[in-house]
Amino acid sequence: MRHQRTGKKLGRDASHRKALYANLAGQLIEHGRIRTTVTKAKAVKPLAERMITLGRRGDLHARRQATSVLRSRDVVHRLFADVAPRFKDRPGGYARIVKIGPRPGDSADMAYLELIDEEYVAQQRAERATAVAEPEEAEEPVAEAEEAEAEGDEEAEAEAEAEPDEADEPDEPEAEAEAEEPSEADAEAAADDEK
């Protein structure tokens, strides 16, 4: 009987399984989101959350405990320096599993195992917030358009004020145009020639 032997075996012996969990938890801490099978995600999630709790403690003993599980000082440093401080106000539930459907090769159920406050998730949240805030922003361009029209009116008034100054000056091109127009006598002579 397997009393008090919780967890999946995943078809591996104990050392292989321990290495697999360490690698997956390390990749989750390093990248914030990993793609794996649903069964592996369910097995690794509690371990990863325990590591984040150790990171929140932040003392030397917690760092040594995390190093004994994760087996990488770089990952442990990232855990204690970057990941755990983001969850300092959160009492638990640092990761989630998002199912994404079957894998094409063997139809294994696949899932994303991701940290809740990962930059990717925060970015999506920010995009949704901007999408909701767009109607408010739509009112702002109307106000900006009114300001632009007011500025345009001021420019038109400035141009209108400039035009009378130009009208006071004698227009030489108009005088030339009048000189070029044929007189009535020339027009009658041209009409007689055509007949």
**For 14-116, which CATH superfamily applies?**
Ribosomal protein L17 (3.90.1030.10)
User: What pTM was estimated for this model as a whole?
Assistant: 0.60
Tens of pLDDT, residues 117-158:
756 566 767 887 888 887 655 555 555 555 556 566 665 555
**Sequence-separated (6 or more) residues with CB below 8 Å from residue 52:** 29, 79, 83, 84, 87, 94, 95
Tens of pLDDT, residues 62-116:
999 999 999 999 999 999 999 999 998 888 999 999 999 999 999 999 999 999 9
Residue spans of the domains in the chain: they are 14-116, 127-194
Entry field: residues in the chain: 195
Rounded to the nearest integer, the mean pLDDT of the chain is: 81
What single letter denotes the amino acid at residue 143? A
* pLDDT at position 163: 55
